[in-house]
Amino acid sequence: MIDLHDKVKQVLITGASRGIGLQAALSLLHAGCRVYCVSRSPSNHAHDNLHHIPADLASGVDSGAEICALLEERGVFPDTLILCAGAITEALIPKQDPPSIMNQLNVNFVAHVELVRRLIPHMMRHRFGRIVGVSSTAARQPAPGQSLYAASKAGLEAFLRCCAMEFARKGITCNSVAPGYVATEFSARLEATKDLSKVVPVGRMASVQEAADAVLFFLGRHSDYVTGTTLTMDGGLSLAVK
Amino acid at 196: L
d(CA 52, CA 46): 10
Is beta strand 172-179 parallel, antiparallel or unpaired with respect to 34-39?
unpaired
- Give all strands of the β-sheet with 80-83 in edge-to-edge order: 50-54, 34-39, 10-14, 80-83, 129-134, 172-179, 230-233
CB contact at 8 A, 71 and 10: no
Burial class (CB in 10 A: 0-12, 13-18, 19+), 126: middle
Task: Tell me the β-bridge partners of 182.
Answer: 206
d(CA 238, CA 222): 26
Which of 87, 86, 67, 85 lies closest to 77, judged by CA? 67
Known active-site residue 149 = yes
Task: Tell me the β-bridge partners of 132.
Answer: 82, 175
Taking CA atoms, 81 is separated from 93, 139, 174, in Å, by: 32, 20, 9
Catalytic residue among 36, 149, 181, 225: 149
d(CA 22, CA 45): 9
Residues taking part in catalysis: 149
